[in-house]
Amino acid sequence: MLSTLAIAHYRSLHDLVVPMGRLNLVTGANGSGKSNLYRALRLLAETAQGGVVPALAREGGLRSTLWAGPEELSARMQRGEVPVQGAARQKAVSLRLGFAGDEFGYAIDLGLPPPSLSAFSLDPEIKREAIWSGPFLRASNLLVDRRGASARVRDGRGWRVVAEHLNAYESLYGQIADPVGAPEVLSLRETIRGWRFYDHFRADGDSPARLPQLGTRTPVLSHDGRDLAAAWQTIVEIGDPQALHAAVTDAFPGARVDVVGADGRFSLEFSQHGLLRPLSAAELSDGTLRYLLWIAALHTPRPPPLMVLNEPETSLHPDLLPALARLIAHAARRTQVWVVSHATRLIAALEQEPGCNTLRLEKAMSRTTLAGQGLLDAPAWHWPER
Ligand SMILES: Nc1ncnc2c1ncn2[C@@H]1O[C@H](COP(=O)(O)OP(=O)(O)OP(=O)(O)O)[C@@H](O)[C@H]1O
Ligand SMILES: [Mg+2]
């Protein structure tokens, strides 16, 4: 489980250290930084897939993703007595992302390459990476240490250099994940690769979830939900069918969902009171289909280490939101959950759940801050120095 998430100089997240619990609810007004926080988590996940630099490029490169404010905000600028102005940059460009969990912590620091003739001269470079044991980095708990092209791992009382020609655009995870030489790297990589993000399920008329699909065992629902029927049947066979059924009746009293198959193609049938025949997925309303997708995603028989749900309320009627909150809380018993939402009823219902960690984002001087977090309340955190 993650205990801390830290971000510096990424968009409006100028310097944010967030404490995490089992069930995390991110809320805040429009423009407060919810999506930025979600994107930052996705970027962290990309480090383990070898895609952090391309992902930054897709967002417009370091120039666009970097905090757009001045390096230093004077007290007079903060009071509005003088306009906010930047001075010549004193420190190197540095976008930093990190987290700490039960066992290990990780931080990555991206910057600009030294001037060169390369056509990729605007590609960000990985300047530093560190893996440590425990809740925050100290000199004594550092385990893997990357500086530019070289990396070393702790070896007894000393250090062993494991690479001297690392690619500047690839993280440690793609280059030194070696079960013998650097087992921490491998273990963290597998954990991060397990994080699951659900953004927007497609529920429109042409959504693949509405069509019969080839059914194979599917412990993890795909991002667009195309394998809904197969995922449903997998939960029935190797997951928790009682909980699945209870989730359906909680949201749609008296209804039942069955999976039918012909020629290896699976489809869903939705039976409800008052109809002579069950409805196929093609006939369901967008909201009903989307809700069934959430039920399948959240009852996965293979719970990930972290499940991130971005605005799950989309296209659901407010009356369904208390049931959605119960569904999410049920999932949070088996996996760590991160929910971004601005639906008042979902927020109110989730906040009733014991242990809900509400992260209310605010913006002050264009910087995202955590409501109620004073300087001393933030979890301890140290970035690796360049
Ligand atoms: N490079 C940057 N530097 C500073 N601020 C930025 C940068 N890029 C974007 N922002 C600002 O970050 C703010 C938060 O954006 P974000 O998309 O996270 O908001 P949100 O909380 O998801 O809002 P909504 O509810 O409208 O989706 C926006 O006001 C945006 O202008
Ligand atoms: Mg947003």
Q: DSSP letter string over 8-77?
A: EEETTEEEEEEE--SEEEEEESTTSSHHHHHHHHHHHHHHTTT-HHHHHHHTTHHHHHB--S-S---HHH
Q: Inform me whether the pLDDT recorded for 89 exceeds 80.
A: no
> Both tokens of residue 349?
């219902």
| Protein residue with least CA distance to atom 5, ligand 1 | 12
pLDDT on residue 131: 97
Strands (E), the chain: 2-10, 13-19, 23-28, 95-101, 104-111, 125-133, 142-147, 150-155, 158-163, 196-198, 213-214, 256-262, 265-271, 279-280, 306-310, 336-340, 356-364, 367-370
pLDDT of 88 above 70: no
Q: Which atom of ligand 1 is nearest to the CA of 64?
A: 1
CA-closest residue to ligand 1 atom 19: 31
**pLDDT (average), residues 78-98:** 80
Domain ranges of the chain: 1-75+89-195+304-386, 202-301
Lowest mean pLDDT among 27-36, 70-79, 304-313, 338-347: 70-79
Token pair listed for 288: 């009903």
pLDDT-based confidence at residue 196 (cuts at 50, 70, 90): very high
CA 204 to chain centre: 25
Ligand 1 atom closest to 38 (CA)? 18
Q: What is the mean pLDDT of residues 47-53?
A: 92
Which single residue is written with the structure tokens 């196929």?
Answer: 280
Looking only at Cα atoms, what is the longest distance across the chain? 74
Other C-beta atoms closer than 10 Å to the C-beta of 193 total: 14
DSSP type of residue 66: B
The protein residue whose alpha carbon is closest to atom 25 in ligand 1 is 30
Span 14-18, mean pLDDT?
96
Query: By alpha-carbon position, which residue is closest to atom 7 of ligand 1?
Result: 11
- At residue 122, the pLDDT reads 73
C-beta of residue 351 within 8 angstroms of C-beta of residue 278: no
Question: Which CATH code, of 3.40.190, 3.10.100, 3.40.50, 3.10.620, is assigned to 1-75+89-195+304-386?
Answer: 3.40.50
- Find the mean pLDDT for residues 176-189: 91
CA-nearest of 383, 311, 356 to 28 is: 311
Locate the ligand 1 atom nearest the alpha carbon of residue 340 and give its number. Answer: 22
Q: For position 85, what pLDDT does the model report?
A: 74
Cα–ligand 1 centroid distance for 364 (angstroms): 12
Provide the pLDDT confidence category of residue 111 given band limits of 50, 70 and 90.
very high
Q: Measure the CA–CA gap between 31 and 362, rounded to whole angstroms.
A: 9
State the Cα angle at 41 between 35 and 43, rounded to 5°: 100
Q: Which residue has the higher pLDDT, 76 or 9?
A: 9
Can you give the pLDDT at residue 62? Answer: 85
CA distances from 97 to 31, 33, 107, 347 (A): 20, 15, 6, 27
- What is the number of the ligand 1 atom nearest to the C-alpha of 37? 18
Residues within 6 Å of ligand 1 by CB: 11-12, 28, 30-36, 65-68, 342, 366
Ligand number with the minimum distance to the CA of 368: 1
Q: Name the token pair of 356.
A: 């809900």
Q: How far apart are alpha carbons 363 and 369 in whole angstroms?
A: 6
Report the alpha-carbon distance of residue 185 to residue 171 in Å, rounded: 10
The dihedral through the CA atoms of 379, 192, 190, 385 has a sign that is: negative
Report residue 262 as tokens: 């012909």
Atom 9, ligand 1: residue with shortest CA distance: 11
Q: How far is the CA of 106 from the centre of ligand 2 (A)?
A: 26
Section 251-279 average pLDDT:
93
Minimal-distance CA residue to ligand 1 atom 24: 30
Q: How many CB atoms lie within 10 A of CB 209?
A: 28
The values of phi and psi at residue 31, to 5°, are 80, 5
CA–centroid distance, 24 to ligand 2, in Å, is 16
Dist. CA 27 → ligand 2 center (Å): 10
